[in-house]
Amino acid sequence: MQVLECDAKKLLSRHAIASPPGIVAATPEEAEAAATRLGREPVFVKAQIGAGDRMSAGGIRAAHSAAEAKVAARALLGRKLVTSQTSPDGLVVDKVLVERGIAAKREFYLAVSIDPSSATVMITAADNGEVGVEQRAAKQSAGLERLLVHTKGERGPGEIAEFCGRFSLPADAAESLGELIMRLHRAFIELDAGLIEINPLALTDAGEWVAIDAKLAIDDNAMFRHPDLAELGRDAETDYVELHAQRHQINFVQMAGDIGAVVNGAGLGLATLDMIRAAGGTPANFMDIRTTARSLDIAQGVNLVLDNPRTKVVLVNVFGGGMQPCDTIIEGLGIAYRRRRRMLPVVLRVTGNNEDLARLRLANFNLPSTECPDMWQAVTRAVAIAQGRA
């Protein structure tokens, strides 16, 4: 679950990680009042969406007066913002963060994440942060310093001090950076985070470290330990559909295609997407129905597929196991169709435990369906329907 910047900064402030004074606004008038209260120019009006790279997309705007802050907020609120980290449809800006500008002597990139090769907490830092550094980090580019640490802290005496010494900082600034890294590491562990990213992290003339921007992603599988944070996910539009699916025991990712996928199992779901692409089609979503999902949960997942206006056909690819028989999934499919007026064609490949019972239930629901004997035939049939060739 990725939380909004304004919420990420509140959570990090609990660990004494400073950020500029700011006020959240949901209307242009509130933004104007916020800029007046902050009382120092310039301020920055920042779109609050669950994605980064907002600066490049015009989602962060400088304002040199309260009136300019109002104009900037009006240009952002209620509009869709498309960045390199959103879908082509973009995300609607429901609120903005009006934040006081900070004069930075130097700017850094600082992140805590999990190193996939060692399953160890990794600190990543770079001088000269801001736009483009995330892409450099993703590509493991030069100019980025990394340090692997255990969940309980640094591996040996002086390691973080040595790490901070790589940036040619004054002794006091290097020491305070090391302390900030330890607090950030503690926040990462306590929040069950998958990523904490500060970009830029500003060093001010007063020698203080200030998080100008912050990104925080919390492991969905650990949310049961953080019931107080569940509401934060509802503010991020990127997570709304996925969160709704997760509450119904389904892993779901919206995509930009027109073939809706109803699949049980992550591996089978990914294979289905690959086959749709290989057949010349474009998937509208990824779906992994968990073994703990009941028929009513599955109906909620199918509703998400039917609610997508781009979806032209529903491809059901089911392998029934001992914990998730075929008939449970077909029952969920039928319930969803009975509750929806949108009767999209269904192409099925059903095999495994209770497959005959699943076919009987399918007949009772009287859905506009075509069953195929194997995955490839089902995929090619669905692609043909989506493309108007069948």
Residue 155 has pLDDT above 80, yes or no: no
Q: List CB contacts of 345: < 8 A, sequence separation 6 or more.
A: 313, 314, 368, 369, 370, 385
Residue 195 has pLDDT above 50, yes or no: yes
Question: How is residue 341 annotated by DSSP?
Answer: S
Average of per-residue pLDDT across 211-231: 87
Average of per-residue pLDDT across 10-23: 96
Average pLDDT, the chain: 91
Residue 371 has pLDDT above 70, yes or no: yes
Residue 137 has pLDDT above 90, yes or no: no
Residue 136 has pLDDT above 60, yes or no: no
> Both tokens of residue 90?
């973009």
Distance (Å, whole) CA 91 – CA 5: 15
Domain parsing of the chain, residue ranges: 21-100, 106-224, 248-386
Q: What is the DSSP string of 108-151?
A: EEEEEEEETTTTEEEEEEEES-STTHHHHHHTT-TT-EEEEEBT
Does CATH place domain 106-224 in 3.30.470.20?
Answer: yes
> Both tokens of residue 386?
């989506």
Residue 374 has pLDDT above 60, yes or no: yes
For residue 138, the model assigns a pLDDT of 57
> Both tokens of residue 227?
């019931």
Is 159 exposed, middle or buried (CB count within 10 Å of its CB: 0-12, 13-18, 19+)?
middle
Say which residue, 142 or 287, is predicted with more confidence: 287
For residue 238, the model assigns a pLDDT of 46
Average of per-residue pLDDT across 369-373: 96
Residue 240 has pLDDT above 80, yes or no: no
- Whether residue 304 contacts residue 244, with contact meaning beta carbons closer than 8 Å, is answered with yes
- Whether residue 167 contacts residue 125, with contact meaning beta carbons closer than 8 Å, is answered with yes
Q: Are strands 313-320 and 259-263 parallel, antiparallel or unpaired?
A: parallel
- Which listed CATH number (3.40.1350.10, 3.30.390.50, 3.40.50.300, 3.40.50.261) goes with 248-386? 3.40.50.261
Q: What is the DSSP string of 32-91?
A: HHHHHHH-SS-EEEEE--S-S-TTTTT-EEEESSHHHHHHHHHHHTTSEE--TTS-TT-E
**Coil, strand or helix: which one is 295?**
helix
The values of phi and psi at residue 327, to 5°, are: -65, -30
**Coil, strand or helix: which one is 105?**
coil
User: Which residue type occupies 246?
Assistant: Q
- Whether residue 241 contacts residue 304, with contact meaning beta carbons closer than 8 Å, is answered with yes
CB neighbour burial string for 207-234, b if at least 16 within 10 angstroms, e if fewer: eebbbbbbbbbbebeebeebeebeebbe
Distance (Å, whole) CA 311 – CA 305: 7
Residue 381 CB neighbours (<10 A)? 22
Distance (Å, whole) CA 375 – CA 263: 11
Task: Choose the weakest-confidence range: 27-41, 55-69, 133-147.
Answer: 133-147
pLDDT in tens, 352-368: 999 999 999 999 999 99
For residue 169, the model assigns a pLDDT of 95
Residue 65 CB neighbours (<10 A)? 14
- Whether residue 91 contacts residue 52, with contact meaning beta carbons closer than 8 Å, is answered with no
CATH code for residues 21-100: 3.30.1490.20
Sequence-ordered alpha helix ranges (H) in the chain: 5-13, 28-38, 66-76, 133-138, 159-164, 171-190, 230-233, 237-247, 266-278, 295-307, 326-339, 355-365, 375-386
Among 39, 54, 40, which residue's Cα sits nearest to residue 96? 54
What are the angstrom distances between the C-alpha of 233 and each of 8, 39, 121, 237, 250?
11, 31, 24, 8, 16
